[in-house]
Structure 1
Amino acid sequence: MFSFKSRLINATLAATAVIPLATAGTFTFAASAQAAALTGEFQFQGGFTANPSATSLITLSKDKLNFTPQPITPIGITANTGSFGAFNTGNIGNIISFASDIADNPFMDFGNLNIPGVILPGENTTSITDGFNTFSLESADYSIAQSGANVAIDVQLWGFFTSATGEKSKGAGNLTFQVNNQTVTQVNSTLASGGSISNLSFSGGAFATVPEPTTLLGLSAIGIIMGVSRRRKTQVSS
Protein backbone atom coordinates (compact mmCIF):
# COMPACT_ATOMS: atom_id res chain seq x y z
CA MET A 1 0.00 0.00 0.00
CA PHE A 2 2.77 2.41 0.97
CA SER A 3 4.64 1.72 -2.26
CA PHE A 4 1.53 2.45 -4.34
CA LYS A 5 0.86 5.70 -2.42
CA SER A 6 4.47 6.79 -2.90
CA ARG A 7 4.25 6.22 -6.62
CA LEU A 8 0.97 8.09 -6.79
CA ILE A 9 2.40 11.04 -4.82
CA ASN A 10 5.53 11.13 -6.97
CA ALA A 11 3.45 11.03 -10.15
CA THR A 12 1.24 13.84 -8.88
CA LEU A 13 4.23 16.01 -7.95
CA ALA A 14 5.84 15.35 -11.32
CA ALA A 15 2.65 16.26 -13.14
CA THR A 16 2.32 19.43 -11.06
CA ALA A 17 5.86 20.41 -12.02
CA VAL A 18 5.00 20.03 -15.70
CA ILE A 19 2.00 22.39 -15.63
CA PRO A 20 3.82 25.70 -14.86
CA LEU A 21 6.37 25.02 -17.59
CA ALA A 22 3.72 24.14 -20.13
CA THR A 23 1.60 27.14 -19.15
CA ALA A 24 4.60 29.46 -19.44
CA GLY A 25 5.22 28.11 -22.91
CA THR A 26 1.58 28.72 -23.79
CA PHE A 27 1.74 32.37 -22.72
CA THR A 28 4.89 32.80 -24.80
CA PHE A 29 3.15 31.24 -27.80
CA ALA A 30 0.12 33.48 -27.40
CA ALA A 31 2.26 36.59 -27.18
CA SER A 32 4.37 35.68 -30.21
CA ALA A 33 1.31 34.80 -32.27
CA GLN A 34 -0.27 38.16 -31.54
CA ALA A 35 2.97 39.98 -32.30
CA ALA A 36 3.43 38.32 -35.69
CA ALA A 37 -0.18 38.44 -36.93
CA LEU A 38 -1.61 41.48 -38.72
CA THR A 39 -3.70 43.61 -36.37
CA GLY A 40 -5.17 47.09 -36.45
CA GLU A 41 -7.30 48.90 -39.01
CA PHE A 42 -7.06 51.01 -42.13
CA GLN A 43 -9.05 52.94 -44.70
CA PHE A 44 -8.56 52.79 -48.43
CA GLN A 45 -9.59 54.44 -51.67
CA GLY A 46 -9.08 53.86 -55.36
CA GLY A 47 -5.60 54.57 -56.68
CA PHE A 48 -4.09 55.52 -60.02
CA THR A 49 -1.88 53.89 -62.65
CA ALA A 50 0.24 56.38 -64.60
CA ASN A 51 1.11 54.36 -67.71
CA PRO A 52 -1.30 53.76 -69.29
CA SER A 53 -3.27 56.42 -67.44
CA ALA A 54 -6.08 54.75 -65.46
CA THR A 55 -7.97 55.44 -62.25
CA SER A 56 -8.96 52.47 -60.09
CA LEU A 57 -12.71 52.01 -60.62
CA ILE A 58 -15.53 49.53 -59.99
CA THR A 59 -18.06 47.84 -62.26
CA LEU A 60 -21.05 46.27 -60.48
CA SER A 61 -23.33 43.65 -62.00
CA LYS A 62 -25.99 41.60 -60.19
CA ASP A 63 -23.59 38.94 -58.92
CA LYS A 64 -20.13 40.40 -59.56
CA LEU A 65 -17.84 43.23 -58.62
CA ASN A 66 -14.96 43.93 -61.00
CA PHE A 67 -12.08 46.34 -60.52
CA THR A 68 -10.05 48.10 -63.21
CA PRO A 69 -7.36 48.49 -64.38
CA GLN A 70 -6.07 44.92 -64.60
CA PRO A 71 -3.97 43.00 -63.74
CA ILE A 72 -3.17 45.41 -60.88
CA THR A 73 -5.77 47.69 -59.31
CA PRO A 74 -3.92 49.91 -56.82
CA ILE A 75 -5.56 51.28 -53.70
CA GLY A 76 -4.17 53.90 -51.35
CA ILE A 77 -3.98 52.97 -47.66
CA THR A 78 -4.71 55.72 -45.11
CA ALA A 79 -5.59 56.10 -41.40
CA ASN A 80 -3.70 52.86 -40.83
CA THR A 81 -2.98 51.64 -37.31
CA GLY A 82 -1.19 48.65 -35.81
CA SER A 83 0.53 46.35 -38.30
CA PHE A 84 -1.02 48.21 -41.22
CA GLY A 85 1.11 51.24 -40.39
CA ALA A 86 3.85 49.51 -42.40
CA PHE A 87 1.90 49.78 -45.68
CA ASN A 88 0.76 52.65 -47.90
CA THR A 89 -0.64 50.75 -50.90
CA GLY A 90 -2.59 47.63 -51.76
CA ASN A 91 -3.70 45.67 -54.81
CA ILE A 92 -7.40 44.72 -54.82
CA GLY A 93 -8.98 41.79 -56.68
CA ASN A 94 -12.42 40.96 -58.07
CA ILE A 95 -15.47 39.47 -56.39
CA ILE A 96 -16.43 36.91 -59.00
CA SER A 97 -19.68 35.79 -57.39
CA PHE A 98 -21.56 37.15 -54.39
CA ALA A 99 -23.95 34.18 -54.50
CA SER A 100 -21.20 31.58 -54.29
CA ASP A 101 -18.77 33.64 -52.21
CA ILE A 102 -16.04 33.35 -54.83
CA ALA A 103 -13.35 36.01 -55.15
CA ASP A 104 -9.86 36.57 -56.47
CA ASN A 105 -7.91 35.56 -53.37
CA PRO A 106 -5.97 37.07 -51.86
CA PHE A 107 -8.50 39.86 -52.27
CA MET A 108 -6.00 42.47 -51.08
CA ASP A 109 -2.21 42.38 -51.15
CA PHE A 110 -0.47 45.04 -49.05
CA GLY A 111 2.86 46.71 -49.74
CA ASN A 112 4.44 50.06 -50.53
CA LEU A 113 4.92 52.40 -53.49
CA ASN A 114 6.76 55.71 -53.74
CA ILE A 115 3.42 57.55 -53.78
CA PRO A 116 0.57 55.83 -51.86
CA GLY A 117 -1.85 54.16 -54.27
CA VAL A 118 -0.06 55.44 -57.39
CA ILE A 119 1.85 53.20 -59.80
CA LEU A 120 4.42 55.36 -61.58
CA PRO A 121 5.91 54.37 -64.97
CA GLY A 122 8.44 51.56 -64.51
CA GLU A 123 7.81 51.30 -60.76
CA ASN A 124 8.46 48.00 -59.01
CA THR A 125 5.08 46.62 -57.88
CA THR A 126 6.38 43.36 -56.38
CA SER A 127 5.36 44.25 -52.82
CA ILE A 128 1.65 44.50 -53.79
CA THR A 129 1.62 41.34 -55.91
CA ASP A 130 3.87 38.95 -53.97
CA GLY A 131 1.13 37.23 -51.92
CA PHE A 132 2.59 38.34 -48.57
CA ASN A 133 0.58 40.39 -46.06
CA THR A 134 -2.85 39.75 -47.54
CA PHE A 135 -6.60 39.78 -46.93
CA SER A 136 -8.59 36.82 -48.28
CA LEU A 137 -12.38 36.83 -48.54
CA GLU A 138 -14.54 34.06 -47.14
CA SER A 139 -17.87 35.76 -47.85
CA ALA A 140 -19.24 39.02 -49.21
CA ASP A 141 -22.60 40.66 -49.82
CA TYR A 142 -23.95 44.06 -50.79
CA SER A 143 -26.92 46.27 -50.01
CA ILE A 144 -28.50 49.15 -51.93
CA ALA A 145 -30.15 52.18 -50.32
CA GLN A 146 -31.44 55.55 -51.41
CA SER A 147 -29.30 58.46 -50.24
CA GLY A 148 -30.87 61.73 -51.31
CA ALA A 149 -30.83 61.91 -55.10
CA ASN A 150 -28.21 59.15 -55.30
CA VAL A 151 -28.01 55.44 -54.59
CA ALA A 152 -25.50 54.24 -52.00
CA ILE A 153 -24.09 50.74 -52.36
CA ASP A 154 -22.40 49.08 -49.42
CA VAL A 155 -20.34 45.89 -49.82
CA GLN A 156 -19.75 43.85 -46.66
CA LEU A 157 -16.52 41.87 -46.51
CA TRP A 158 -15.57 38.98 -44.17
CA GLY A 159 -12.39 36.96 -44.22
CA PHE A 160 -8.93 36.67 -42.73
CA PHE A 161 -5.59 38.42 -42.93
CA THR A 162 -2.35 36.51 -43.39
CA SER A 163 0.97 38.03 -42.34
CA ALA A 164 4.22 37.59 -44.24
CA THR A 165 5.19 34.90 -41.73
CA GLY A 166 1.93 32.98 -42.18
CA GLU A 167 -0.03 33.93 -39.04
CA LYS A 168 -3.74 34.45 -39.59
CA SER A 169 -6.08 36.96 -37.97
CA LYS A 170 -9.81 37.49 -38.34
CA GLY A 171 -10.86 40.35 -40.57
CA ALA A 172 -13.88 42.28 -41.81
CA GLY A 173 -14.62 45.49 -43.61
CA ASN A 174 -16.82 47.50 -45.93
CA LEU A 175 -16.44 48.94 -49.39
CA THR A 176 -18.76 51.75 -50.52
CA PHE A 177 -19.60 53.64 -53.70
CA GLN A 178 -22.55 55.52 -55.13
CA VAL A 179 -24.56 55.88 -58.33
CA ASN A 180 -25.51 59.49 -58.98
CA ASN A 181 -28.95 60.70 -59.99
CA GLN A 182 -30.57 57.26 -59.76
CA THR A 183 -33.19 55.55 -57.63
CA VAL A 184 -32.96 52.14 -56.01
CA THR A 185 -35.65 50.91 -58.38
CA GLN A 186 -33.64 52.04 -61.40
CA VAL A 187 -30.43 50.43 -60.16
CA ASN A 188 -32.16 47.15 -59.29
CA SER A 189 -33.85 47.12 -62.69
CA THR A 190 -30.50 47.53 -64.44
CA LEU A 191 -28.87 44.73 -62.46
CA ALA A 192 -31.86 42.37 -62.75
CA SER A 193 -31.89 42.71 -66.53
CA GLY A 194 -28.26 41.59 -66.75
CA GLY A 195 -26.82 45.07 -67.06
CA SER A 196 -24.01 46.64 -65.07
CA ILE A 197 -23.05 49.98 -63.59
CA SER A 198 -19.48 51.01 -64.30
CA ASN A 199 -16.85 53.72 -63.81
CA LEU A 200 -17.59 54.10 -60.11
CA SER A 201 -15.02 55.42 -57.65
CA PHE A 202 -14.86 53.66 -54.28
CA SER A 203 -13.53 53.78 -50.76
CA GLY A 204 -13.72 51.60 -47.69
CA GLY A 205 -12.18 50.37 -44.47
CA ALA A 206 -11.27 47.14 -42.73
CA PHE A 207 -9.80 45.81 -39.49
CA ALA A 208 -8.01 42.72 -38.23
CA THR A 209 -8.07 40.99 -34.85
CA VAL A 210 -6.29 37.89 -33.52
CA PRO A 211 -7.90 35.19 -31.34
CA GLU A 212 -8.12 36.07 -27.64
CA PRO A 213 -5.22 34.69 -25.53
CA THR A 214 -7.77 32.67 -23.53
CA THR A 215 -8.74 30.84 -26.72
CA LEU A 216 -5.13 29.95 -27.41
CA LEU A 217 -4.69 28.86 -23.79
CA GLY A 218 -7.80 26.71 -23.99
CA LEU A 219 -6.49 24.92 -27.06
CA SER A 220 -3.10 24.40 -25.46
CA ALA A 221 -4.68 23.08 -22.23
CA ILE A 222 -5.70 19.95 -24.10
CA GLY A 223 -2.06 19.29 -24.90
CA ILE A 224 -1.09 19.89 -21.26
CA ILE A 225 -3.68 17.41 -19.96
CA MET A 226 -2.60 14.77 -22.46
CA GLY A 227 1.04 15.28 -21.46
CA VAL A 228 0.21 14.93 -17.76
CA SER A 229 -1.84 11.81 -18.43
CA ARG A 230 1.01 10.17 -20.34
CA ARG A 231 3.44 11.07 -17.56
CA ARG A 232 1.20 9.48 -14.89
CA LYS A 233 0.93 6.29 -16.90
CA THR A 234 4.71 6.15 -17.21
CA GLN A 235 5.19 6.66 -13.45
CA VAL A 236 2.65 4.00 -12.52
CA SER A 237 4.01 1.42 -14.94
CA SER A 238 7.52 1.99 -13.62
Structure 2
Amino acid sequence: MPRLDAAWQALERWLGATVLPAQCALCGMGCPEVLCPPCRAQYLGHSRPRCCQCANPLAGTDGTPLCGRCLRKRPAYDATVTACDYAPPVDQLLLQLKFGARLPLAPLFAQLLAVAVQQQPAWEQPQLLCPMPLGPARLAGRGFNQALEIARPLARLLAIPLQPRLALRVRETRAQSGVAPRERRANLAHAFAIAPQHGGLLQGCHVGIVDDVMSSGHTVNTLAAACKRAGASRVSILVVARTPPH
Protein backbone atom coordinates (compact mmCIF):
# COMPACT_ATOMS: atom_id res chain seq x y z
CA MET A 1 0.00 0.00 0.00
CA PRO A 2 2.72 2.63 0.76
CA ARG A 3 4.24 2.08 -2.68
CA LEU A 4 0.85 2.51 -4.38
CA ASP A 5 0.05 5.62 -2.35
CA ALA A 6 3.37 7.17 -3.34
CA ALA A 7 2.79 6.26 -6.99
CA TRP A 8 -0.71 7.79 -6.79
CA GLN A 9 0.62 11.08 -5.45
CA ALA A 10 3.44 11.22 -7.98
CA LEU A 11 1.02 10.47 -10.82
CA GLU A 12 -1.42 13.16 -9.75
CA ARG A 13 1.36 15.74 -9.41
CA TRP A 14 2.72 14.90 -12.87
CA LEU A 15 -0.67 14.95 -14.59
CA GLY A 16 -1.69 18.13 -12.87
CA ALA A 17 1.54 19.90 -13.72
CA THR A 18 2.09 18.76 -17.30
CA VAL A 19 -1.07 17.51 -18.96
CA LEU A 20 -4.33 18.38 -17.28
CA PRO A 21 -5.48 21.89 -16.26
CA ALA A 22 -4.57 22.95 -12.72
CA GLN A 23 -8.02 22.12 -11.42
CA CYS A 24 -9.91 19.15 -10.06
CA ALA A 25 -11.38 16.99 -12.84
CA LEU A 26 -14.62 16.61 -10.86
CA CYS A 27 -15.44 19.89 -9.15
CA GLY A 28 -13.22 22.28 -11.10
CA MET A 29 -11.65 23.73 -7.99
CA GLY A 30 -8.10 25.00 -8.42
CA CYS A 31 -5.87 22.05 -7.59
CA PRO A 32 -2.41 20.88 -8.66
CA GLU A 33 -3.62 17.26 -8.71
CA VAL A 34 -6.07 15.38 -10.93
CA LEU A 35 -8.58 15.20 -8.08
CA CYS A 36 -8.77 17.53 -5.12
CA PRO A 37 -8.54 15.90 -1.67
CA PRO A 38 -12.23 16.58 -0.81
CA CYS A 39 -13.49 14.92 -4.03
CA ARG A 40 -11.14 12.01 -3.64
CA ALA A 41 -12.28 11.44 -0.07
CA GLN A 42 -15.98 11.89 -0.83
CA TYR A 43 -16.31 9.87 -4.03
CA LEU A 44 -13.35 7.48 -4.07
CA GLY A 45 -12.16 7.23 -0.50
CA HIS A 46 -14.31 4.35 0.74
CA SER A 47 -15.31 0.82 -0.18
CA ARG A 48 -18.47 -1.22 0.31
CA PRO A 49 -19.28 -4.93 0.68
CA ARG A 50 -19.50 -6.51 -2.76
CA CYS A 51 -20.11 -9.92 -4.25
CA CYS A 52 -16.66 -11.42 -4.79
CA GLN A 53 -17.74 -12.87 -8.15
CA CYS A 54 -19.66 -10.06 -9.89
CA ALA A 55 -18.86 -7.04 -7.62
CA ASN A 56 -22.48 -6.02 -7.21
CA PRO A 57 -23.08 -4.43 -3.80
CA LEU A 58 -24.17 -6.81 -1.05
CA ALA A 59 -27.17 -5.73 0.98
CA GLY A 60 -26.18 -7.56 4.16
CA THR A 61 -23.03 -7.65 6.22
CA ASP A 62 -23.24 -11.30 7.30
CA GLY A 63 -20.03 -12.19 5.50
CA THR A 64 -21.72 -13.98 2.58
CA PRO A 65 -19.25 -13.63 -0.31
CA LEU A 66 -21.73 -14.11 -3.17
CA CYS A 67 -24.90 -12.29 -4.18
CA GLY A 68 -28.12 -14.15 -4.83
CA ARG A 69 -27.75 -13.90 -8.59
CA CYS A 70 -24.32 -15.54 -8.59
CA LEU A 71 -25.54 -18.22 -6.19
CA ARG A 72 -28.38 -19.07 -8.56
CA LYS A 73 -26.30 -19.05 -11.74
CA ARG A 74 -22.54 -18.72 -11.70
CA PRO A 75 -21.09 -16.59 -14.51
CA ALA A 76 -18.17 -17.73 -16.64
CA TYR A 77 -15.77 -15.43 -14.79
CA ASP A 78 -14.58 -16.30 -11.29
CA ALA A 79 -13.99 -12.96 -9.57
CA THR A 80 -14.45 -9.23 -10.11
CA VAL A 81 -12.67 -6.24 -8.62
CA THR A 82 -13.98 -2.72 -9.14
CA ALA A 83 -12.76 0.63 -7.90
CA CYS A 84 -16.12 2.40 -7.58
CA ASP A 85 -19.77 2.52 -8.57
CA TYR A 86 -20.65 3.89 -11.99
CA ALA A 87 -22.65 6.80 -10.65
CA PRO A 88 -22.48 10.62 -10.67
CA PRO A 89 -20.14 12.37 -10.59
CA VAL A 90 -17.46 9.69 -11.13
CA ASP A 91 -19.22 8.47 -14.28
CA GLN A 92 -18.36 11.80 -15.91
CA LEU A 93 -14.66 11.02 -15.60
CA LEU A 94 -15.12 7.77 -17.50
CA LEU A 95 -17.20 9.50 -20.15
CA GLN A 96 -14.47 12.11 -20.56
CA LEU A 97 -11.99 9.33 -21.29
CA LYS A 98 -14.24 7.27 -23.53
CA PHE A 99 -15.92 9.97 -25.60
CA GLY A 100 -13.78 13.01 -24.89
CA ALA A 101 -10.43 11.33 -25.54
CA ARG A 102 -8.95 12.60 -22.26
CA LEU A 103 -6.37 9.84 -22.32
CA PRO A 104 -4.37 11.22 -19.35
CA LEU A 105 -7.26 10.04 -17.16
CA ALA A 106 -6.46 6.39 -17.97
CA PRO A 107 -3.48 6.18 -15.55
CA LEU A 108 -5.72 7.60 -12.82
CA PHE A 109 -8.23 4.78 -13.37
CA ALA A 110 -5.40 2.24 -13.41
CA GLN A 111 -4.21 3.56 -10.07
CA LEU A 112 -7.72 3.32 -8.60
CA LEU A 113 -7.95 -0.29 -9.76
CA ALA A 114 -4.51 -1.15 -8.41
CA VAL A 115 -5.49 0.18 -4.99
CA ALA A 116 -8.77 -1.78 -5.13
CA VAL A 117 -6.84 -4.97 -5.93
CA GLN A 118 -4.49 -4.38 -3.01
CA GLN A 119 -7.50 -4.11 -0.70
CA GLN A 120 -8.82 -7.58 -1.62
CA PRO A 121 -7.89 -9.97 1.21
CA ALA A 122 -8.00 -13.15 -0.89
CA TRP A 123 -7.08 -11.81 -4.31
CA GLU A 124 -5.48 -14.28 -6.72
CA GLN A 125 -3.12 -12.48 -9.09
CA PRO A 126 -3.79 -13.18 -12.80
CA GLN A 127 -0.91 -14.44 -14.89
CA LEU A 128 -1.69 -12.04 -17.74
CA LEU A 129 -4.01 -9.14 -18.50
CA CYS A 130 -6.28 -8.84 -21.53
CA PRO A 131 -8.09 -5.58 -22.37
CA MET A 132 -11.67 -5.78 -23.58
CA PRO A 133 -11.30 -5.52 -27.39
CA LEU A 134 -13.18 -3.11 -29.63
CA GLY A 135 -14.44 -3.98 -33.09
CA PRO A 136 -12.48 -2.53 -36.04
CA ALA A 137 -15.15 0.00 -36.98
CA ARG A 138 -15.57 1.36 -33.43
CA LEU A 139 -11.82 1.44 -32.90
CA ALA A 140 -11.33 3.40 -36.13
CA GLY A 141 -14.07 5.85 -35.19
CA ARG A 142 -12.84 6.44 -31.64
CA GLY A 143 -9.15 6.22 -32.41
CA PHE A 144 -8.24 4.28 -29.28
CA ASN A 145 -9.44 1.50 -27.00
CA GLN A 146 -10.14 2.90 -23.54
CA ALA A 147 -9.74 -0.54 -21.95
CA LEU A 148 -6.25 -0.87 -23.41
CA GLU A 149 -5.32 2.63 -22.25
CA ILE A 150 -6.26 1.60 -18.69
CA ALA A 151 -4.67 -1.85 -18.96
CA ARG A 152 -1.22 -0.56 -19.94
CA PRO A 153 -0.48 1.37 -16.71
CA LEU A 154 -2.38 -1.22 -14.65
CA ALA A 155 -0.12 -4.00 -15.92
CA ARG A 156 2.92 -1.99 -14.85
CA LEU A 157 1.49 -1.25 -11.40
CA LEU A 158 0.58 -4.88 -10.75
CA ALA A 159 3.65 -6.32 -12.51
CA ILE A 160 1.48 -8.56 -14.72
CA PRO A 161 2.26 -9.18 -18.42
CA LEU A 162 -0.17 -7.50 -20.81
CA GLN A 163 -1.40 -9.26 -23.96
CA PRO A 164 -3.19 -6.49 -25.86
CA ARG A 165 -4.11 -8.71 -28.84
CA LEU A 166 -5.06 -11.86 -26.97
CA ALA A 167 -8.79 -11.43 -27.65
CA LEU A 168 -10.49 -10.23 -30.82
CA ARG A 169 -13.94 -8.83 -31.38
CA VAL A 170 -14.77 -10.72 -34.55
CA ARG A 171 -18.30 -9.41 -34.95
CA GLU A 172 -19.38 -5.80 -34.73
CA THR A 173 -22.11 -5.42 -32.13
CA ARG A 174 -24.36 -2.61 -31.05
CA ALA A 175 -23.35 -0.79 -27.89
CA GLN A 176 -24.87 -2.67 -24.97
CA SER A 177 -26.16 0.60 -23.50
CA GLY A 178 -28.45 0.94 -26.51
CA VAL A 179 -29.78 -2.62 -26.43
CA ALA A 180 -32.81 -3.76 -24.46
CA PRO A 181 -31.80 -5.89 -21.44
CA ARG A 182 -33.52 -9.00 -22.80
CA GLU A 183 -31.56 -8.68 -26.09
CA ARG A 184 -28.07 -8.08 -24.67
CA ARG A 185 -27.00 -11.72 -24.52
CA ALA A 186 -28.01 -12.31 -28.13
CA ASN A 187 -26.29 -9.09 -29.21
CA LEU A 188 -22.95 -10.53 -28.05
CA ALA A 189 -23.33 -14.06 -29.40
CA HIS A 190 -20.12 -15.16 -31.17
CA ALA A 191 -18.67 -11.66 -30.79
CA PHE A 192 -15.27 -12.70 -29.37
CA ALA A 193 -12.50 -15.07 -30.33
CA ILE A 194 -9.02 -15.78 -29.02
CA ALA A 195 -6.27 -14.87 -31.47
CA PRO A 196 -4.89 -18.17 -32.84
CA GLN A 197 -1.26 -17.13 -32.31
CA HIS A 198 -1.93 -16.53 -28.60
CA GLY A 199 -4.22 -19.48 -27.88
CA GLY A 200 -1.43 -21.50 -26.31
CA LEU A 201 -0.98 -18.87 -23.60
CA LEU A 202 -4.37 -19.71 -22.11
CA GLN A 203 -3.82 -23.37 -21.29
CA GLY A 204 -4.29 -23.57 -17.52
CA CYS A 205 -3.86 -19.79 -17.26
CA HIS A 206 -5.49 -17.27 -14.93
CA VAL A 207 -6.54 -14.35 -17.15
CA GLY A 208 -7.48 -10.87 -15.99
CA ILE A 209 -9.90 -9.00 -18.28
CA VAL A 210 -9.64 -5.21 -18.00
CA ASP A 211 -12.52 -2.87 -18.87
CA ASP A 212 -13.77 0.59 -17.99
CA VAL A 213 -17.39 -0.08 -17.00
CA MET A 214 -19.34 -3.25 -16.16
CA SER A 215 -23.12 -2.94 -16.31
CA SER A 216 -25.15 -6.11 -16.88
CA GLY A 217 -21.97 -8.19 -17.08
CA HIS A 218 -22.93 -9.84 -20.38
CA THR A 219 -19.91 -8.46 -22.25
CA VAL A 220 -17.26 -9.62 -19.80
CA ASN A 221 -19.10 -12.92 -19.32
CA THR A 222 -19.05 -13.61 -23.07
CA LEU A 223 -15.32 -12.90 -23.29
CA ALA A 224 -14.64 -14.92 -20.13
CA ALA A 225 -16.48 -17.88 -21.66
CA ALA A 226 -14.33 -17.60 -24.80
CA CYS A 227 -11.20 -17.65 -22.60
CA LYS A 228 -12.45 -20.71 -20.74
CA ARG A 229 -13.19 -22.54 -24.01
CA ALA A 230 -9.61 -21.78 -25.09
CA GLY A 231 -8.24 -23.42 -21.96
CA ALA A 232 -8.11 -20.71 -19.28
CA SER A 233 -8.48 -22.16 -15.80
CA ARG A 234 -9.65 -18.94 -14.15
CA VAL A 235 -10.86 -15.53 -15.32
CA SER A 236 -10.94 -12.41 -13.17
CA ILE A 237 -12.50 -9.11 -14.15
CA LEU A 238 -10.78 -5.82 -13.32
CA VAL A 239 -13.17 -2.98 -14.05
CA VAL A 240 -12.94 0.65 -13.04
CA ALA A 241 -16.63 1.14 -12.29
CA ARG A 242 -19.60 -1.16 -11.68
CA THR A 243 -23.14 -0.05 -12.47
CA PRO A 244 -25.29 -0.74 -9.40
CA PRO A 245 -28.35 -2.93 -10.08
CA HIS A 246 -31.63 -1.08 -10.49
Would you say same fold, with TM above 0.5? no
Write 1 or 2 for the structure with the bigger share of helix. Answer: 2
Structure number with larger C-alpha Rg: 1
Write 1 or 2 for the structure with the bigger share of strand. Answer: 1
Question: What is the TM-score when the length of structure 2 is the normalising length?
Answer: 0.23
